[in-house]
Amino acid sequence: MRDKIGDSNNQTLNTMRIAVALALVLAASSLWAQEGFGTKAPSVTMAPPAAVAVRAGSLGKATLQFRVAEGFHINSHQPKSEFLIPTNLKLDAVTNIAVEKTTYPTGEDMSFAFDPGEKLNVYAGDFEVEVVVKPLAGVTPGKYTFHGTLRYQACDNAACYPPKNLPVNFEVEVAGAKQSPRHSIRNLADPKLK
């Protein structure tokens, strides 16, 4: 008899455990559904950039890769209205390394449900910004880090979000300046250097 009661209690306990576990699983799945359906914030992320190896006095190119979260778009660098906030990369100055040129991709002309008649120039998905840097000839070889921000303003099909600044960092590894052939020949011709 006692064994029977014990078995019965165990069975109830097990059922309760299963019930609680089921409730937790369903609750978790409901929270997951909530998170994954329409609540994600508009975000732009940057892939870790490769270091730019460049000789002093030469040009080096950093390719910065960005991704706009699915379902959102951001204005391109040259949006079609003066009031729209363009995507813009701002880099802090690094002593003895000049930013020669920043190249933004051409945006995509897209129309949206909120105004099918008008096309906006935007970035959606992945896009790249190229930065050409030039260490001055006299710069000490070594690693230098550029810091800056990518300013962007995101929208979805029905609403727009305030402008944001994404921190941007990339490294430039400067090697010593290449000696000119003329200089090298002169060096080789110099008996003192032999």
Q: Give the residue, chosen from 76, 87, 121, 153, that forms a contact with other proteins under the rule CB under 8 A.
A: 153
Compute how many residues bind other proteins; rule: CB under 8 A: 39
36 binds other proteins (CB under 8 A): no
Binding mask 133-152 for other proteins (x = CB under 8 A): --------------------
Binder to other proteins among 10, 12, 140, 179 (CB under 8 A)?
12
Rounded to a whole number of angstroms, the minimum distance from the CB of residue 79 to other proteins is 9
d(CA 105, CA 161): 22
Residue showing tokens 């002093």: 56
Scan residues 117-136 and list those touching other proteins (CB under 8 A): 120
Tokens of 5: 């009661």
- Beta strand pairing call for 126-135 and 60-68: antiparallel
Of 153, 96, 106, which Cα lies nearest the Cα of 129?
106
The amino acid that residue 89 corresponds to is L
> DSSP assignment of 75-114, as one string?
E-SS-SSTTSPPPEEEE--BTTEEEEEEEPPPPEEEEETT
Shortest distance, CB of residue 34 to other proteins, whole angstroms? 4
Compute the distance between CA of residue 60 and CA of residue 172 in angstroms, rounded to an integer.
8
Within 155-194, which residues bind other proteins (CB under 8 A)?
155-163
The single residue among 10, 30, 103, 165 that binds other proteins, judged by CB under 8 A, is 30
- How many angstroms separate the CA atoms of 24 and 140, rounded? 60
Residue 81 CB, nearest distance to other proteins (Å)?
Answer: 8
The site for other proteins (CB under 8 A) is made up of 8, 11-12, 15-16, 18-20, 22-23, 25-27, 29-31, 33-34, 37-39, 81, 83-85, 112, 114-115, 120, 153, 155-163
